[in-house]
Amino acid sequence: EAGVTQFPSHSVIEKGQTVTLRCDPISGHDNLYWYRRVMGKEIKFLLHFVKESKQDESGMPNNRFLAERTGGTYSTLKVQPAELEDSGVYFCASSQGLKETQYFGPGTRLLVL
Amino acid sequence: AQRVTQPEKLLSVFKGAPVELKCNYSYSGSPELFWYVQYSRQRLQLLLRHISRESIKGFTADLNKGETSFHLKKPFAQEEDSAMYYCALTPGSSYKLIFGSGTRLLVRP
């Protein structure tokens, strides 16, 4: 069974540009989560989808971040415009049920110059 | 505030020695506690969760509500245990994971 996949694996952009990260959850998993680890700090929660609905977006840092999950399958996380402090690793995770194990993707390493 | 603290950034032990990775949490309710592990060049994966009361790869963790701790233990460390270990909790009101800063375990031959 394929695990959670994320694209791209790495992205280097300049400050002010736009970047879109994609996450494909495990097939059949209704729950999709985004996390990020910036500047060597803790991995922090960004938001949680249940199917196509945003269940919890309390971790989204500001309105430069937009997450979507149209159709309840894959999800995108857009950063526009990117700032230097957005550099870090963005993780996606999915789970079948709300209390089930969250399976993580390999992460997207974002560097904003 | 909900918080997970892992006081050690690095823990270095010799093969065969006991290991204890410390984790303390602050949460007023009844959280669910987890240990996640990330081996070199691999993705983050669940090691164990307190409600399962399992032993995975020889590791155990006991939730101590009095001390608000969930330390990870293994009696005899192996070189393949070298990895980054993260303690995490989910608060009762949400399903998000709140992570500690992680402890790098290095098991030397």
* DSSP string computed for B58-92: TBEE--BTTTTB--EEESS--GGG-EEEEEEEE-T
Question: From the CA of B86, how many Å to the nearest CA of chain A?
Answer: 9
Alpha-carbon gap, residue B51 to B27, rounded angstroms: 17
Neighbours of A90 (CB within 10 A): 23
| Residues with Cβ within 8 Å of residue B53, at least 6 apart in sequence | none
Contact A33 B97 (CB under 8 A): yes
Residue B17, pLDDT > 90, answer yes
Read off the DSSP letter of residue B96. Answer: -
**How far is it, in rounded angstroms, from Cα B4 to Cα A87?**
23
Tens digit of each residue's pLDDT (9 = 90 or more) over A75-109: 999 999 999 999 999 999 999 988 889 999 999 99
pLDDT, tens digit, for every residue of B47-74? Answer: 999 888 777 899 999 889 889 999 999 9
Residue A39 has pLDDT above 80, yes or no: no
Contact residues on chain A for B4, CB-CB shorter than 8 A: 42
The alpha carbon of residue A40 is apart from the nearest alpha carbon of chain B, in Å, by 9
Residue partners of A29: CB distance under 8 A and separation at least 6: A94, A95, A96, A103
Q: What is the pLDDT of residue A64?
A: 96
pLDDT band at A1 (very low <50, low <70, confident <90, very high): low
Mean pLDDT of chain B: 92
List residues bridging with A6 in a β-sheet: A23
Determine the residue type at B98: I
Q: pLDDT tier at B6 (50, 70, 90 boundaries)?
A: very high
Note whether B103 and B36 are within 8 A (CB).
no
Measure Cα distances from A96 to A50, A55, B108 in Å.
10, 15, 38
Structure tokens at A80: 């526009």
For residue B34, what are the contacts with CB-CB under 8 A and spacing of at least 6?
Answer: B46, B47, B48, B49, B50, B87, B88, B89, B90, B97
The structure tokens listed for A68 are 């979507």
Question: Which residues of chain A have a CB within 8 Å of the CB of B99?
Answer: 35, 42-44
A95: chain B residues, CB-CB within 8 Å: 95
For β-strands B45-49 and A43-50, DSSP reports them as unpaired
Per-residue pLDDT band at B77 (split at 50, 70, 90): very high
What is the structure's pLDDT at A66? 97
Higher pLDDT among residues B99 and A41, named by residue: B99
* Nearest-by-Cβ selection for A33 from B45, B96, B102: B96
SS3 A84: helix
pLDDT for B56 equals: 85
B2: pLDDT strictly greater than 90 = no
The predicted pLDDT at position B36 comes to 96
What's the average model confidence in pLDDT over B6-26?
Answer: 96
B102 touches A at CB < 8 Å: yes
